[in-house]
Amino acid sequence: MRFTVFGGVSARTGDRTTEFGPTRLGALLGVLLVDAGRVVSADELVERVLGDAPPPRARAMMQTWLTRLRHSLPGLVERDGAGYRVRVDPLEIDLHLFRHLVRTGRTTEALALAGRPLLSTLDTPWARQQRAGFADELLAARLDHVDARLAQDEHSALVPELQALAAERPLDERIAAQLIEALHGSGRAAEALRHFEIVRARLAAELGAEPSRHLATLHRRLQTASAPRQLPAAPKPFTGRALELAELDREPNGVVVITGTGGVGKTSLAVHWAHRVAARFPDGQLYVNLHGFGPSGAAVSPGDALLRFLSALDVPRAQVPHDLAGQSALLRDALADKRVLMLLDNATDADQIEPLLPRTPNAHVVITSRTTLHPAHSHALPLGLLPPDDARELLAARIGHDRARAEPDAVDTVVRRCARLPLALAVAGARAATQPEFPLATLADELADLDAFADDDDVTADLRSVFSHSCKALSPAALRLFRLLGLMPGSDISLAGAASLAGLDERETGTLLAELARANLLDEPEPGRFTCHDLLRDYAAELALAGERDEALHRLLDHLALTSVEAAVAYTPSRRRPATPEPAAGVVVHRFGTHEEALAWLMAEHPALMAAMPHGTATQTWLMGWSLADALDRQARYRDLLTSQQLAVAAVEQLDDADGLGRTLINLGRSLSRMRRPDEATAALHRAFDVYEGDPAGQAGVLLNIAMLTPDDRIAEALEHTRRGLALFEECGDSYGQANALTGLAWGHAKLGEYARTVEYAERAMRMWRAMDHLIGQAEAWDNLGMGHLGLGEHAKAAEAFTRSSEMFRLGGDLAHEAGAHEQLGDTHAAAGDAEPAREAWRKAVELRTEAGLPTDLVRAKLQAEGE
């Protein structure tokens, strides 16, 4: 027989289950089962079942219930002295089985048992005390289970559960430590470190205590682990360059520029040395491939490189200035006291690298370039061909030392005919390694036409001969894919992009990419993304057949355009999907399940999309621009935002699509505004208004955008634009647009101090947002109601509104606005003379602004003014 005390009390024999429900009999059985194995006195039974104020004749009533229980379950309850106990194996009772499973480390099974409250049908002081005590047991088991899952690298899956637990128990340091570890293990190092600061501030404010030793130790460990480690994998094999390595060792701080011809091994030397000395730079290693000599449009701009570095250094996006000079200064500030190594690979000119140089005492910069660069206070390190012995060793490491020793003359011939260039030796060695049964002399004979390599002045051009030799060993399908990869507009490509380029499925394409990688014609620097040396890529492009070029490139651009639309809609579901053409045959179009997946794809493909836009059809180009608009805006990549929208406008102007042109002009106006070009932004929006002639909803949307771009000192003008937009939305029956306009009117009237109007418009907007079940819209309406009621001196109503606003912004995942609602809630309490609730709300605002990476100075000033 098995018994249940989680939820209602029940007994099960075979297939038969007896549910006792909220009866005295069930309560009595539950009390005995909880204490299975020990005697419970008659007085204890009375108190536990009937409470601490039992009715008269309670003991007689208890005897009656015991008799009935014995008849219902013969042999279960026995008299023992002055009390009673149940005769049952404790492991037949779910509560005791739970405890056994926890003790033996089987927390998954234990937690599956405890899905309902203990003795949920019994409401006496004793039962409530038992439930409270078991809640602590259950929490401990949950946290044990979390520890086990963390050990199995389930970090990302655990973050939502731990965030909810941390919100319920903000001072529990074990939960805090687990959340910090889960965030860090999910690649969210900045959030992990910010959560530690939040917990430390709470402990100090509420308990006057410092974090525990365990939490402080974890913080120190994560601080070290969070230092950026951006170096690509160390080259293997790497041989020689002893003199150059020694020279790099002699320059511990400053700027070193490694120069040399293409394929001579500049990057390999720099990366090998960087790994060798990484411990000398405990605050991290920063790396960017600037693609200075890649295809047109693939070069990384200084602004993009700065954003990558600032992100790696956990600088909050909200603190990053819009201009290049400001970003450069911020990088210097972030590195001011850090010992870091920065590797700027494949730079093209001084304009590309100057904004990236930190010029701080402990930062060391290594630059590689084919051109001679002369940054201030730099040291030049020219790199020539490999010495003969080093070249032989590199080839031997690739083909096997025994094979090299067996044919030394053939090794010398291959080395000479590869001009001692590491790239040529790597490609030729890969060919030999894939055919171990062939004599090496055969390879040397096949390279017989490469004697031009002896002319050091033209070694880069003659690399084509080595590449040609290696391509001969490829399967026809792999050779075709190699030719097509030379057409990719960006610096790298995804598996889906390569499949679309080739018009093949992803599985077959993956097999061909692996073949190219084995031939050393392709690299996979990170899972699922592929690239190759720019000299190999140029050679591949030369091989592409005239009949296949246009169709292949069209397929790739179709993949980028159509997948980017899917990502954009998943990233911002409220955006209206544009009309899209059917994909060409062989094009892979991915779809996305979550906002996070969509953003990750857009940012991974952002360089490729930017490089592809000038090469697309008018439809492809404007779709890519439309898709990038929100992500680039929210990620503060304003220069790329402006460029993409300029290209998109030029493309959509070629189409008979007034709506597409209007939408793109709105995005262009937004991007010009972000770049602080207000007159041009206004001109773009006015043009969009004209384009939407005869389309009231389109014109209304433009008017709301004009209102948003209107400076705060011209609020009345912004309100007029918003009122005109509202009238147009009402004319065409657009409820979403009306609610947006009413929200804007409520906010504008609050700025003017017209608080009664604020409340009026906010209440109208609220009704519409509720009808649409639009969470963020309701949050904004509550926020506006709070401002209105606060301005009218209605403090209780304002506090309620800001509280509701903060709750909805939290559910919507908008930390910045949630923080703003808490700050205004504090302002409301302060205006009402309630100092402690005001401080509590402001502390929460500081916590949220810290978590969101926003400045906290103004809120802290309010706390200090209140004596904190």
For the cut 60, the answer to whether the pLDDT of residue 826 exceeds it is yes
Q: Which CATH class is domain 2-137?
A: mainly alpha
For the cut 70, the answer to whether the pLDDT of residue 144 exceeds it is yes
> What's the rounded mean pLDDT across residues 565-590?
89
Token digits of residue 754? 């017209």
Name the residue with higher pLDDT: 153 or 583: 583
Fold exhibited by the domain 245-382: Rossmann fold (3.40.50)
Range of weakest confidence among 181-185, 219-223, 387-391: 219-223
Q: How many CB atoms lie within 10 A of CB 577?
A: 11
> What's the rounded mean pLDDT across residues 683-691?
92
The tens digit of pLDDT for each residue in 468-478 reads 767 777 889 99
Q: How many CB atoms lie within 10 A of CB 76?
A: 18
Percent of the chain predicted with pLDDT > 90: 28
User: Which pLDDT does position 454 carry in this prediction?
Assistant: 38
Q: Would the CA dihedral through 729, 734, 735, 739 be positive or negative?
A: negative
User: Which pLDDT does position 447 carry in this prediction?
Assistant: 67
Token digits of residue 736? 């979403």
Q: What is the CATH number of domain 734-865?
A: 1.25.40.10
For the cut 80, the answer to whether the pLDDT of residue 458 exceeds it is no
Name the residue with higher pLDDT: 582 or 816: 582
The tens digit of pLDDT for each residue in 55-71 reads 878 888 888 888 888 87
For residues 633 and 667, give the distance between their C-alpha atoms in angstroms, rounded to a whole number: 10
Q: What is the CATH number of domain 153-225?
A: 1.25.40.10
For residues 379 and 362, give the distance between their C-alpha atoms in angstroms, rounded to a whole number: 16
For residues 647 and 551, give the distance between their C-alpha atoms in angstroms, rounded to a whole number: 22
> What's the rounded mean pLDDT across residues 535-544?
81
For the cut 90, the answer to whether the pLDDT of residue 632 exceeds it is no
* DSSP-assigned letters across all residues of 66-105: HHHHHHHSTTSEEEETTEEEE-S-GGGBHHHHHHHHHHTT
For the cut 90, the answer to whether the pLDDT of residue 119 exceeds it is no
Range of weakest confidence among 147-156, 225-234, 670-679, 698-707: 225-234
* DSSP-assigned letters across all residues of 517-529: HHTTS-EEEETTE
- Residue 146 contacts residue 155 (beta carbons within 8 Å): no
* DSSP-assigned letters across all residues of 274-288: HHHTGGG-TT-EEEE
* DSSP-assigned letters across all residues of 454-469: G-GGGHHHHHHHHHHH
Angle at 222 between CA 217 and CA 223, to 5 degrees: 95
For residues 238 and 215, give the distance between their C-alpha atoms in angstroms, rounded to a whole number: 42
Per-residue pLDDT band at 801 (split at 50, 70, 90): very high
- Output the CA–CA distances (angstroms, integers) from residue 41 to 36, 51, 531, in the order listed: 13, 15, 78
> What's the rounded mean pLDDT across residues 118-143?
87
For the cut 50, the answer to whether the pLDDT of residue 825 exceeds it is yes
The tens digit of pLDDT for each residue in 336-355 reads 888 899 999 989 888 889 99
For the cut 70, the answer to whether the pLDDT of residue 465 exceeds it is no
What is the DSSP pairing of strand 77-80 with strand 83-86?
antiparallel
User: Which pLDDT does position 223 carry in this prediction?
Assistant: 67
Name the residue with higher pLDDT: 572 or 731: 731
Of residues 661, 669, 653, the one with CA closest to residue 698: 661
User: Which pLDDT does position 453 carry in this prediction?
Assistant: 38
Per-residue pLDDT band at 457 (split at 50, 70, 90): very low
Name the residue with higher pLDDT: 684 or 191: 684
> What's the rounded mean pLDDT across residues 92-103?
88
For the cut 80, the answer to whether the pLDDT of residue 239 exceeds it is yes
For the cut 50, the answer to whether the pLDDT of residue 456 exceeds it is no
For the cut 50, the answer to whether the pLDDT of residue 432 exceeds it is yes
User: Which pLDDT does position 450 carry in this prediction?
Assistant: 43
Per-residue pLDDT band at 760 (split at 50, 70, 90): very high
The tens digit of pLDDT for each residue in 151-179 reads 887 888 888 889 888 888 888 899 999 99
Name the residue with higher pLDDT: 627 or 229: 627
For residues 697 and 681, give the distance between their C-alpha atoms in angstroms, rounded to a whole number: 20
Per-residue pLDDT band at 455 (split at 50, 70, 90): very low
Return the bridge partners of 11, or none: 3, 18
For the chain, what is the mean pLDDT? Answer: 85
Percent of the chain predicted with pLDDT > 70: 95
Fold exhibited by the domain 474-623: Arc Repressor Mutant, subunit A (1.10.10)
> What's the rounded mean pLDDT across residues 712-736?
88
For the cut 70, the answer to whether the pLDDT of residue 452 exceeds it is no
H/E element holding 241? none
- Residue 304 contacts residue 320 (beta carbons within 8 Å): no
For the cut 80, the answer to whether the pLDDT of residue 294 exceeds it is no
The full set of domain ranges for the chain reads 2-137, 153-225, 245-382, 388-455, 474-623, 734-865
For residues 794 and 756, give the distance between their C-alpha atoms in angstroms, rounded to a whole number: 11
Of residues 292, 278, 422, the one with CA closest to residue 344: 292
- Residue 368 contacts residue 345 (beta carbons within 8 Å): yes
The tens digit of pLDDT for each residue in 331-340 reads 999 888 888 9
Token digits of residue 833? 């003379």
Per-residue pLDDT band at 504 (split at 50, 70, 90): very high
On the question of a common fold for 2-137 and 474-623, the answer reads yes
